[in-house]
Chains A and B, each alone.
Chain A
């Protein structure tokens, strides 16, 4: 009897809440605000400590809602959300997270997160940024070179040049078996076999022969690159110093983060993106905003995600400005690219598809491990 009562009570409480969550998706910020204020706070795990700036701006814009921001790498966010939900704890509302292929398999497929697209921007975002998960901005892993040592532009114009003897031991990358983004980069190359084959022909003047056991020109490229003494590093700090040092005579090139160029002056670097590269110079990957399953503050969570898409000004206003740096790209079209960066449309990088990458990266990871 007691059990029946509690079940009924639970149904009474949970059903409307579940129905409400659906309703919440359609509400405007003005309609969300009173609900969110009633909830009182919103907890976000963030891959960037710039969430501190968002906290100040959000609390100024929407008084009465306490934003609790916790910096955590994507890997740790995933581990924590998995462990929490297994324990039946639902404490976090919003994840601001990269590493999308892992998010896709470990969180989305397991229904640990739900996708939410703020109605205010739904009409202007391209479809690929709205599903399966909402993208807030794009970050990069692209070929970077030293613009002081190579004043005439990038010394590399075709990825296949990196497999030639003159680049032996002079191409750097954070170890792709240690960092997801670099694994995603190599996976993306493998997912474009035709373009890699065409680029091979353009460079060497003949058709590529793919070895047994490898699938396509992309995988052949990965093998050739690693066998040409690709140097793997522990972190991007080392990479930037090695590639970008203004005093270097004949510096190497490396697959790094375009937006690190913003630190050139401060650090004494001359990092520049190698944009004129066939068939592409690397990848654009999404920074995702998503809501945790059974988020304790569903209205405030939606309000925050809406807020982080910025306002109608070209810089995006206080909700987006902390992320408006050269080499990071807003997906909201009204926000202009930073004046110092190559326009998004002109950047020769592939934008990854988390689902496709998730399906293929296991094989590429294994390939890299066997080649090391």
Chain B
């Protein structure tokens, strides 16, 4: 399959030899990813841009502009990735492979934190741990007489904790999807050979889900590295800068070239990291688990550990989901942002306009814009999730099929890059690229299509990574059998690949949907005034100082994400009936 002959194939052979799909993909990725990146790169090759390279890398500024933020960023990236693997992996193991009580409930809790914006988690941290460094009212612990040292209130440690609390559910979603497809035959074979439980876990299950672990590590690493809200809220008061806060600052103060240089360097460093992790996977044997023979997943009995482990999982869930949601909910009800738990009012939700509160603004459910925005948001999320997953699956398919080739390496590297490009740079590059008509294609400026194109590119890493971790386990012999009976690529895709990969695909689609529904920076530059989305409405309120309205809308966003996730779970169970008990 992977060895195409070197002679130039004829037209019909072109189709059959599977040359067309990779070629189309290379073209799409070039347009979606390479073109905007080139645009950013080119803008740093002007005289101003070159001066920016010098300033960042070889000047008295380098220490504070590049090296120290780089160190902080990498520390953050590695600690968050490892923390997420540990917690996300633990929960995924518990929920998918054991007989822990309340599995569905725990699973739902574990997928929740990713839907809560990271700034809410950071605010929640402040509500509990804020100390007197900034003056004003202290957090819960200091108010109750417990002195909180600076290192626990501000800087790298709280930032890492908050980001782990936010991103572990991303790791959970990916790992759980992969564990769900570990065949019972493997585990049973191990048991019959007399292997003990740890042996089965470390010797069989762990190696099998390694691609998913790597995917989870890459995505959480990149997420932590690119996150702005948490390091800004918790790091700046002790002057901890990361590359993302530096980058934001450069663009905010009009030094675009320096910002782009930092972005490119960040991409380079992360790409190196990804390359190394890629080598780690391709250097070992592939473990194929979806073979068409295996039965449903067998669960480990936990015995006496059932309830203690349930308690641990519940505690993690409570701390990372309930606390931020509580803070959000309380702040949408409290008239004063300083006193969250007093004088609650429903005004910000359903109040009538014209009164004293909120400068006469009516509650969000009386705002006609809201329904409009809600509809736009859902439409955008659905369309982008669909297009991205389709593209992601095709890419993942090609990457997996051609594992080890230059093409596969190139595609997987490129598909990952958009994650590290700051949205504002990405969006600006997109307007500049697609704003004007290109040849026969009309200008996409101000259209829904431009937003879908840009958002698909931006979310590609999620789609590809989740597609890969699932496809990597599907045995080639199933497809081979189908091919022998004469099934074409499309037929094989829809009859075999889709049904087998659907669980992972849904998991990926949810991630993309959630990301899209929450995202603001990409949307705000590309969308027009006439089609608001929820995050833009929230931003509008927040920028006017109406934090309660903004928080209320954030909760609405959360509800939308939750509903989507329930729906996806329900669908997963419907389409993969053989997984049911």
Interface residues of A (CB under 8 A from B): 43, 48-50, 68-73, 75-76, 78-80, 82-84, 86-89, 91, 99, 101-102, 105-106, 169-170, 172, 175, 177-180, 183, 231-234, 237-238, 241-245, 247-248, 250-252, 260, 263, 266-269, 361-362, 365-366, 369-370, 372
Contact = CB atoms under 8 A, between A and B. Distances in A.
A169 B133 contact: yes
Contacts of B544: 48-50
26 contacts: A43-B529, A75-B251, A76-B424, A79-B256, A79-B427, A83-B431, A83-B432, A83-B435, A87-B443, A87-B445, A102-B254, A178-B232, A178-B236, A178-B249, A180-B253, A237-B545, A238-B233, A243-B136, A245-B137, A248-B137, A252-B135, A267-B338, A268-B339, A366-B61, A369-B61, A370-B60
B255 interface: yes
Contacts of A232: 236-237, 239
B428 A80 contact: yes
B239 A237 contact: no
Interface in B123-159: 133-137
- If over half of B's interface residues share one DSSP class (helix, strand or loop), that class is named, otherwise mixed; here it is helix
A232 B245 CA distance: 13
Nearest to A176: B253
B337 A267 contact: yes
A268 to B, nearest CB: 5
B540 interface: yes
A358 B246 CA distance: 20
A365 B64 CA distance: 12
Nearest to A325: B359
Interface string B542-561: 01110100000000000000
A47 to B, nearest CB: 8
Given A79-B427, A83-B428, A180-B253, 15 more contacts: A50-B544, A71-B539, A83-B435, A87-B443, A172-B134, A177-B253, A231-B134, A241-B137, A245-B135, A245-B338, A266-B357, A268-B336, A370-B60, A370-B61, A370-B63
B530 interface: yes
A243 to B, nearest CB: 7
Given A89-B445, A99-B254, A268 B338 contact: yes
A73 B136 contact: no
Given A238-B134, A242-B135, A245-B338, A365 B255 contact: yes
Contact of A266 (B335, B432, B443): B335
A68 B536 CA distance: 15
Contacts of B64: 369-370, 372
B23 interface: no
Interface string B462-477: 0000000000000000
Contacts of A83: 427-432, 435, 525
B241 interface: yes
A70 B435 CA distance: 18
B251 A49 contact: no
B541 to A, nearest CB: 8
Nearest to A251: B135
B446 interface: yes
B67 to A, nearest CB: 12
B540 A49 contact: yes
B236 A89 contact: no
Interface of B: 55, 60-61, 63-65, 133-137, 232-233, 236-237, 239, 241, 245-246, 248-249, 251-256, 335-339, 357, 424, 427-436, 443, 445-446, 524-525, 528-530, 536, 539-541, 543-545, 547
Contacts of A266: 335-336, 357
Contacts of A362: 255
B328 to A, nearest CB: 15
B252 A179 contact: yes
A248 B61 contact: no
A70 B545 CA distance: 17
A178 B252 contact: yes
A244 B338 CA distance: 10
A297 B417 CA distance: 40
B136 A251 contact: yes
B436 to A, nearest CB: 4
A32 B443 CA distance: 31
Of the candidates B61, B135, B430, the one having the most CB atoms from chain A within 10 angstroms of its own CB is B135
A79 B135 contact: no
A178 B424 contact: no
A342 B513 CA distance: 50
Contacts of A183: 253
A259 B337 CA distance: 18
Contacts of B335: 266
Q: List the 7 closest pairs (A to B, CB-CB), nearest first.
A: A87-B435, A102-B254, A242-B136, A83-B431, A70-B529, A234-B232, A252-B135
Contact of A234 (B233, B338, B539): B233
Contacts of B252: 75, 178-180
A251 B524 CA distance: 37
B254 A78 contact: yes
Nearest to A368: B64
Nearest to B126: A238
B230 to A, nearest CB: 10
Contacts of B65: 369
A54 B318 CA distance: 45
A75 B423 CA distance: 13
A262 B536 CA distance: 25
Contact of A91 (B136, B241, B446, B545): B446
Contacts of A70: 528-529
A180 B251 CA distance: 10
Contacts of B357: 266
Q: Which of B64, B136, B428, B432 has the most chain A CB atoms closer than 10 A to its own CB?
A: B136
A84 B525 CA distance: 10
Contact of B133 (A49, A84, A231, A247): A231
A242 B253 CA distance: 25
A105 B337 contact: no
Contacts of B540: 49, 71
A49 B540 CA distance: 6
Contact of B529 (A69, A169, A172, A244): A69
A143 to B, nearest CB: 15
Nearest to B229: A234
A266 B64 CA distance: 39
A372 B136 contact: no
A24 B185 CA distance: 81
A242 B427 CA distance: 35
Nearest to A50: B544
Nearest to A231: B237
A241 B529 contact: no
A169 B543 CA distance: 28
Contacts of A106: 254, 256
B516 to A, nearest CB: 19
A266 B254 CA distance: 34
